């Protein structure tokens, strides 16, 4: 039962993270046009090749926020090793980002290097927030 719960926690954390990243990039129709009729991979390839610096800044920020919230969701569900499972989400997101960089040429070097320092700390921080809130809640319950 615990393994099923932990697997569900990781999947939900990833789903939340990927939804946030996707939604945050689709907000600006200049970056990703809504009326694109071709294959989404080709659309992404053209976006990466022609994107300006602010697109990659937004992508990095949304990835950090998504990793943090994915870590929060995961840590809320698992019972033990909250930080480990949250960092596993950061690891999967990092692998996805690395694959993205390798498949689609055009990412700036600063983005590639920065992504290594965004996913793990953000997901760890999400689990740390949950643990701190739960400890605080437990202390308040013991006082009553």
Which phi and psi angles does 36 have, rounded to 5°?
Answer: -70, 125
Confidence (pTM): 0.86
Tell whether the model's pLDDT for residue 35 goes beyond 70: no
Distance CA 93, CA 118 (A): 10
pLDDT greater than 90 at residue 123: yes
For residue 130, pLDDT beyond 80: yes
Q: Quick check: helix, strand or coil at residue 144?
A: coil
Mean pLDDT throughout 80-90?
92
Of the pLDDT bands very low, low, confident and very high (cuts 50, 70, 90), residue 22 is: confident
Round to whole Å and give the CA distance between 39 and 128: 39
In the predicted structure, residue 122 carries a pLDDT above the cut 90: yes
């Amino acid at each position: 039962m615990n393994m099923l719960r932990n697997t569900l926690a990781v999947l939900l954390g990833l789903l939340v993270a990927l939804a946030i990243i996707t939604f945050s990039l689709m907000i600006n129709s200049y970056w990703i046009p809504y009326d694109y009729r071709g294959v989404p991979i080709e659309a992404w390839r053209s976006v990466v090749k022609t994107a300006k610096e602010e697109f990659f800044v937004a992508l990095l920020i949304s990835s950090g926020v998504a990793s943090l919230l994915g870590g929060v969701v995961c840590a809320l569900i698992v019972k033990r090793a909250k930080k480990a499972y949250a960092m596993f989400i950061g690891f999967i997101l990092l692998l996805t980002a690395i694959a993205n960089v390798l498949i689609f040429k055009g990412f700036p070097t600063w983005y590639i290097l920065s992504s290594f320092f965004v996913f793990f700390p953000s997901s760890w921080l999400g689990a740390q927030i949950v643990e701190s809130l739960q400890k605080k809640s437990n202390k308040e319950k013991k006082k009553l």
